[in-house]
Amino acid sequence: MGYYDQNYPPNPHRRKNKGWLVPVLLGIIIGILLVVVALPALQENNVLPGNSAEQGQQEGASINEGTQGTNNTVNVDVSTQITEIVEQVTPAVVGVINIQQQGDFWQQQESNQAGEGSGVIYKNEGGTAYVVTNHHVIEGADSVEVVLADETHIEAEIVGSDVFSDLAVLRMSGEQVEQTIELGSSESVKVGEPAIAIGNPLGLMFSSSVTQGVISGTERTIPQDFDQDGRADWQAEVIQTDAAINPGNSGGALININGQLIGINSMKINQAAVEGIGFAIPIDSALPIVEELETTGEVTRPYLGVEIYSLDEVPQAEWRDTLNLPNEVEGGVYVWSVEPLSPADQAGLKRLDVITELDGTAVNNMIELRKILYQEKEIGEEVTVTYYREGERNETTLTLGTQE
């Protein structure tokens, strides 16, 4: 059997169906309308992918044409308040060279550059300029050279220095000095405000280096051991900043956003795990010392005439067994020796007496006693000393003297 219509001729009597013609014509007309009307609108709105690719090629061509053309150098003049202030202040910040005499193999004296630091020109009057720097920068110097911002070397004289405040004053010719620094106030300094340090980190090779940060803390106290015996001799009051302060920056300027001197850069914590902690001597506490050094060449402070040590350095057992202190005594200083004819000697103080109060103010350690003497008392002032001897509480009055 064959399939339907297979190998059979068409039926001549079958009627032909012509109903397909109308739908075909309508489809053609609609297609033409879509091409004519809708396609431009689709291209205009970036709906068709072909259009985006073409546009990208055109943009790429424009970019390639730009890169293949001549590159134009753009010069940008960045001028801010900081750059202007630094430009103004930098000539007042100098390098300080510590020169010491040493004997060579033939016992002949030769100059040796023992160290470098920084300084600040704060006054230039009558042809004489004055520089403030750190005591430790010029310590042991036989002579000192000041290096201006333009690398001019000027021989300077050490007017005076003070180990407790770590300040020193130098005097030199002011003929080539172009700028002195404007003095500000450290009392109004706020934590978080901008701070700029200017100095010579690592020596004159990096002279007039500028670092910027903020004030990290005010009225910080840092223990100082001057004789390197492991005991703190003094508590330095400092400003803390995260502006980088490195060896050679010592004695340089810490300024505020107005270019005013608010501190003398002094030190940083030199530990591998510590970063961004530097210290400066507040200008408000430095100025009276600077003026005294400039006038007299030294800082004269009241003294008792005793060698003392903090009670907390003695084992608690010795408080009872040797010093016979009662339980209510929680701190103080013990007298190790008394200078003959000193105020303490004339007032009757003796070895192993324990001082606990000065004029009614508690003294818990050696640093507190020195702070009371150096910051609150005057030479020639009478002071009431409360002390314990063999367990008994005593009082005596002495007149503060000055160390010769």
Q: Which of 348, 366, 355, 347 is nearest to 323 (CA)?
A: 355
The residues that bridge with 254 in the sheet, in sequence order, are 197, 263
Please say if 153 is a catalytic residue: no
DSSP letter, residue 36: I
- Residue bearing tokens 């903090």: 310
CB 252 within 8 A of CB 230: no
Q: Distance between CA 12 and CA 4 in Å, rounded?
A: 16
Question: Annotated catalytic residue: which of 135, 161, 166, 186?
Answer: 166
Please say if 166 is a catalytic residue: yes
- Residue 5's Cα: distance from chain center in Å? 105
Strand 109-125 and strand 306-310: the pairing is: unpaired
Question: Annotated catalytic residue: which of 118, 135, 136, 242?
Answer: 136
Please say if 285 is a catalytic residue: no
SS3 201: coil
Q: Residue 100 to residues 116, 138, 146, 396: CA-CA distances in angstroms?
A: 12, 10, 15, 47
Question: Annotated catalytic residue: which of 250, 266, 285, 310?
Answer: 250
Q: What are phi and psi of 386, to 5 degrees?
A: -100, 130
* Residues labelled catalytic: 136, 166, 250
